Amino acid sequence: MSSDNHVIAGPPLRLRPLREADEVPFAAAHQALAEEGYHFGLDGYQAGCSWPGYLQRVRDGQAGVNLPAGRVPATFLVAEVAGQIVGRISIRHELNDFLRQEGGHIGYAVLPAHRGRGYATEMLRQGLVIASSLGVEQVLVTCDDDNVASSRVIERCGGKLDSTAMGRDGSTLIRRYWIG
């Protein structure tokens, strides 16, 4: 990656759905982010859970079927480079009150070992295309106020700061950006 234009050098990054063969690398990715206090696996993923059951929850979530209270339809994809999972993205098809305040349409995470290579920017760029294909033309993307790297990613992808607001936890300031 060039620090001037944030282009990924080397194999291309692609977003793709989870597969049966992803169980072990997915669990490792989940553990890596858990050590930082974040979730890699969404939709109720827990280490040791039934992998086929989890894959079905992800498919159901995308279709808007059997959604738990407070959830909206969302497309969950992993980011892959040269056959290795480097991150994940969740593209919510609509907003509820919580997402409107602090979650946004798109959430993404890059694994610690793969940061600083432009992957987050490319993931968000591709995620915006997917959001548009779902009919979401104005995309809300949020990040913690102190997450400078994420703020830069959002701004590189056209994000315009709308506001900052206190998160529901009462201690985290959230930056809210609109793209589109």
What are 2-37's pLDDT values in tens digits?
A: 333 455 667 899 999 999 999 999 999 999 999 998
Q: What is the pLDDT of residues 61-115, one digit of tens each?
A: 999 999 989 999 999 999 999 999 999 999 999 999 999 999 999 999 999 999 9
**pLDDT reported for residue 6:** 57
Global pTM reads: 0.92
Distance, CA of 142 to CA of 17 (rounded, Å):
23
**pLDDT reported for residue 8:** 63
Distance, CA of 121 to CA of 2 (rounded, Å):
13
**pLDDT reported for residue 20:** 96
- Region 13-136: CATH code: 3.40.630.30
First and final CA of the chain: distance in angstroms?
26
Spans of all domains in the chain? 13-136
pLDDT-based confidence at residue 1 (cuts at 50, 70, 90): very low
